[in-house]
Homo-oligomer: A and B are copies of this chain.
Amino acid sequence: MSEALKDKISITLNQNPKPLIPKEEITFGKYFTDHMLEMRWSAKGGWKKPEIKPYGPLMLDPASLVLHYGLECFEGMKAYRKNDGEVVLFRPEMNMKRLNTSAERLMLPTFDTDLVLEGIKELVRLDSRWIYKDEGYSLYIRPTMIGSEATLNMTSSGEAILYVICCPVGPYFGSAVTLLANTEDVRAWPGGVGSKKVGGNYAPCIKPAYDARAKGADQVLWLLGDDHKVTEAGTMNFMVYWINSDGDRELITAPLDGTILPGITRDSLLHIAGKIEGVKVTERIFTMSELIKAQSENRLLECFGCGTACIVSPVKAIIYDSKTYKVPLDPNNASAQYSPLARKLYDQLLFIQYGKSDEYQSWTPSIKL
């Protein structure tokens, strides 16, 4: 660690690091690394110096705002290990920026993104043994900010804690999923906070996910409005690849109109897809009736969710109004296990995320080990 960094971040090493979890036992979000980053803020004193310290519990007053009014926001990002052992992040400045946007909406304090990113890099460096070498493995990084002032008054928080924890994750690209288009519960709405990564957007989505499973689906497809606009799937952005009414092969996803999370995987995939010959990329509102029509006219090519955790999750069927609409995984291959564009995008994005693409080097800043 450089002297310059020591001035900026204080570090207390974990003297009792845990044994590594065997690769095959890794479950998303259940096992955490040896350290965490913590930075405390108060209205009086501003941000204190960030601190890396052993992973451990937070002591919170039972009146802390976060425990009553959902005063919290978070991010999800990943670190990857390249073949040569080097560790890289993926577009981390976008996560830092989005966390500040979420914090601002909740009147939590904004922060110096460069400093926090430096802290995250140091944290990942210290815990880099948790990034397994094998393809598909990575380190999931969870920056979180909570309003910690002890008051039941519904006010902006005079105290906050920004902290970062990490957990190892394995390869995600699983078998294709079935979605239940939910016509009762609504995830986000105009004038709400659906475009922000705030805690309160998530808790209400847990029960609908279980309800979907009880009906034979894996995840929820979230709709909006009487015309059933297609918005997101589970906790992912949602993309459809179809032949549109003009006869173009088009990758379409809902626009960032305030009800959609501005996903960094979403943004990256749109960027990559835009460079694929013969694929038109469109962000616009589209509805279930358009989707069903395309399916019935054999114009629907693929559907998939996308997000930091899964990267790409292909969809094989959508249940809507008690009917099951099959989504072709590969129109040219009835026994295909995943859709060709989804797979292509997944492979290309993973290639970039592992720092293998010369063109996208700027997306994967490296961490000095």
Chain A interface (Cβ < 8 Å from any Cβ of B) = 27-30, 32, 36, 55-63, 66-72, 74, 105-107, 140, 142, 144, 146-147, 150-156, 163, 165, 167, 184-186, 189-193, 198-207, 209-210, 235
Complex Cα distance, B186 from A70, in Å, reads: 17
Q: Could you say which of B57, B58, B74 contacts A68, with CB atoms under 8 Å apart?
A: B74
Q: Can you list 25 A-B contacts with CB-CB less than 8 angstroms, sorted by A residue number?
A: A29-B151, A32-B63, A57-B60, A57-B61, A63-B142, A67-B144, A68-B72, A68-B74, A70-B198, A71-B199, A71-B206, A106-B203, A106-B206, A106-B207, A142-B152, A154-B202, A154-B206, A154-B209, A155-B206, A185-B192, A189-B192, A192-B192, A198-B200, A198-B204, A200-B201
Q: Report B-chain residues with C-beta under 8 Å of the C-beta of A29.
A: 63, 151-153
Contact between chains at A28 and B200 (CB < 8 Å): no
Tell me the smallest distance from the CB of A63 to a CB of chain B, in Å.
Answer: 6
Contact between chains at B107 and A165 (CB < 8 Å): no
Complex Cα distance, B158 from A27, in Å, reads: 15
Q: Report B-chain residues with C-beta under 8 Å of the C-beta of A193.
A: 204
Q: Report B-chain residues with C-beta under 8 Å of the C-beta of A56.
A: 62
Tell me the smallest distance from the CB of A129 to a CB of chain B, in Å.
Answer: 19
**New A-B pairs, 5, CB < 8 Å, besides A68-B199, A71-B202:** A58-B59, A70-B203, A107-B206, A186-B192, A198-B203
Q: Could you say which of B27, B68, B192, B199 contacts A153, with CB atoms under 8 Å apart?
A: B27
Q: Report B-chain residues with C-beta under 8 Å of the C-beta of A147.
A: 203
Q: Report B-chain residues with C-beta under 8 Å of the C-beta of A28.
A: 152-153
Closest to A69 in B: B202
Contact between chains at A58 and B60 (CB < 8 Å): yes
Complex Cα distance, B189 from A192, in Å, reads: 9
**Of A32, A68, A105, most B-chain CB atoms within 10 Å:** A68
Contact between chains at A70 and B199 (CB < 8 Å): yes
Complex Cα distance, B193 from A235, in Å, reads: 17
